[in-house]
């Protein structure tokens, strides 16, 4: 008990370094539960909002930035993925919040400014009193240059907000990077305080035994909120209920000859899987195009190889490709045009358009081949399967039978992820509710000093 008390004192949950704003001062277009989260994040000053796709992180971050500007007079910078800047500006117009899209420091105006992550080098970070990271999972890659540049550039910024979907389960490195960006603890401090290396895998971290009793989750709840739906923090879900989603597997029979034995073996190594992808480009793309062309629906079509993108955009009626070779302005415009229904079918890669876009206008997607990245698959699906989607969603996966191990791997990771995300939310639910209670409306207590006299007609 004494040792646990020592650890708890050493832990020092993150305090409040922000501003107090009354609920009634916040944008009336926000839902009540969104207002509570914004008020909490403002009071923290430096916070992370881990919310599932479609819960309205964009208007929340805009209102957070707007209030910081109103209260301090300082300027705010939002960093976002490609094409999300224009989408955010349009969302700001709906909520009555001005957002300025800029490419460099010369374009900055008083108030809220937004740019792409790739343009960070064009800005003077010291100019801004507040920074918002939209789709902050970009911090996931702890060895990445962008991650290091972001943390270093804004180390002295007074107000910080990180917004992302619920982080990848068991990816404690991502949580550590968020903590470091916000100035809570460095990634190294977090790991040494709460984790040990798994003896069987030095790249895997697990919670120390003595912190299993909520010390880690209390610390997490002191600077972040993690929810998958409003009821996670005690509010009614209302329209925030996802429709049915159905996965269709199109397994194309192989024409390859056995190299040994009687049967064709599955591709197991990375090189073998790449070889299968190259050998089956045409048949996979052809099968996908046949299905898509047989409908009159909008489709998002995901690929991983340039040749796949070229074949699909050629064979699918009304398809427009967003490719790596396109200029950023072209990519952004095509992604926005699809969101508005100006393009019927869009063909692109998860690493290009897998983050940030709101494509609920579409309810059908095709994956023409799979990589081993569950996170890319999840994010790509979530472009259309997100709160605000009104139709049942259909996901079609086209692979050759030798790629069966890849499909099984993705399915295994999906089941594990959903289970673990639910576990994370359960761990933090009551702690988050407790943390958010400070944001409840202040009630004036009435202490009567004069005895009330009832009318005679009531007493008789």
Fold identical between 2-239 and 245-405?
Answer: yes
The Cα 138–Cα 306 span in angstroms is: 23
Do 365 and 395 contact (CB within 8 A), yes or no?
yes
Binned at pLDDT 50, 70 and 90, residue 283 comes out as very high
- Residue bearing tokens 């809220």: 112
pLDDT at residue number 142:
46
Identify whether the C-beta of residue 71 lies closer than 8 Å to the C-beta of residue 64.
no
Alpha-carbon span 309 to 323, nearest angstrom: 8
Query: Is residue 315 over pLDDT 60?
Result: yes
Q: What residue ranges do the domains of the chain occupy? A: 2-239, 245-405
pLDDT at residue 98 tops 90: yes
Reading the block at residue 387, the tokens are 């709160």
Beta strands in 176-327 (DSSP E): 195-198, 201-207, 224-227, 245-252, 299-302, 319-321
What dotted CATH number matches 245-405? Answer: 3.40.50.300
What span, in angstroms and rounded, lies between the C-alpha atoms of 346 and 35?
A: 35
- Read off the tokens for 437: 């209670």
Radius of gyration of the chain (CA): 25
Q: For the whole prediction, is pTM greater than 0.85?
A: no
Distance separating alpha carbons of residues 157 and 131, to the nearest angstrom: 7
Coil/strand/helix, residue 288: helix
CATH of 2-239 among 3.20.110.20, 3.40.50.10810, 3.30.230.10, 1.50.10.20 = 3.40.50.10810
Q: What is the mean pLDDT of residues 356-363?
A: 94
| Per-residue model confidence as pLDDT tens digits over 126-149 | 999 999 999 888 887 545 777 888
């Amino acid at each position: 008990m004494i040792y646990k008390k020592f650890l708890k004192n050493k832990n020092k949950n993150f305090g409040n370094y922000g501003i107090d704003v009354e609920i009634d001062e916040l944008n009336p277009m926000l839902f009540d539960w969104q207002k509570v989260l914004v008020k909490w994040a403002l009071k923290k000053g430096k916070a992370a909002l881990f919310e599932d796709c479609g819960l309205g992180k964009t208007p929340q971050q805009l209102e957070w930035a707007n209030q910081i500007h109103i209260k301090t007079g300082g300027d705010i910078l939002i960093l976002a993925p490609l094409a999300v800047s224009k989408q955010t500006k349009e969302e700001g117009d709906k909520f009555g919040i001005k957002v300025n899209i800029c490419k460099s420091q010369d374009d900055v105006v008083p108030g809220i400014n937004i740019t792409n992550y790739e343009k960070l080098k064009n800005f003077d970070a010291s100019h801004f009193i507040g920074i918002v990271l939209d789709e902050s999972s970009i911090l996931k890659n702890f060895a990445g240059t962008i991650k290091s540049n972001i943390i270093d550039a804004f180390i002295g910024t007074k107000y910080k907000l990180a917004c992302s979907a619920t982080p990848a389960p068991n990816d404690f490195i991502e949580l550590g990077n968020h903590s470091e960006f916000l100035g809570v603890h460095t990634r190294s401090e977090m790991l040494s305080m709460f984790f040990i290396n798994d003896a069987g895998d030095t790249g895997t971290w697990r919670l120390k035994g003595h912190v299993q009793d909520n010390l880690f989750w209390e610390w997490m709840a002191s600077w972040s909120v993690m929810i998958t739906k409003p009821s996670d923090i005690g509010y009614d879900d209302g329209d925030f209920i996802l429709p049915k989603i159905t996965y269709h597997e199109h397994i194309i029979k192989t024409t390859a000859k056995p190299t040994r034995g009687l049967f064709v073996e599955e591709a197991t190594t990375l090189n073998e899987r790449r070889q299968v992808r190259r050998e089956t480009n045409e048949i996979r793309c052809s099968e996908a195009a046949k299905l898509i062309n047989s409908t009159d629906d909008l489709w998002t079509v995901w690929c991983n190889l340039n040749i796949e993108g070229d074949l699909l955009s050629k064979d699918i009626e009304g398809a427009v490709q967003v490719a790596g070779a396109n200029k950023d302005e072209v990519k952004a415009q095509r992604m926005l045009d699809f969101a508005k229904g100006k393009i019927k079918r869009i063909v692109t890669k998860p690493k290009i358009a897998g983050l940030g876009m709101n494509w609920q206008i579409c309810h059908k997607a095709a994956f023409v081949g799979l990589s081993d990245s569950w996170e890319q698959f999840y994010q790509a699906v979530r472009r259309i399967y997100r709160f605000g989607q009104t139709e049942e969603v259909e996901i079609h996966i086209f692979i050759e039978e030798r790629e069966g191990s890849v499909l099984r791997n993705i399915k295994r990771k999906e089941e594990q992820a959903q289970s673990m995300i639910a576990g994370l939310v359960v761990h933090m639910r009551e702690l988050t509710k407790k943390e958010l209670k400070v944001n409840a409306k202040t009630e004036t207590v009435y202490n009567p000093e004069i005895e009330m006299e009832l009318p005679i007609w009531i007493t008789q």
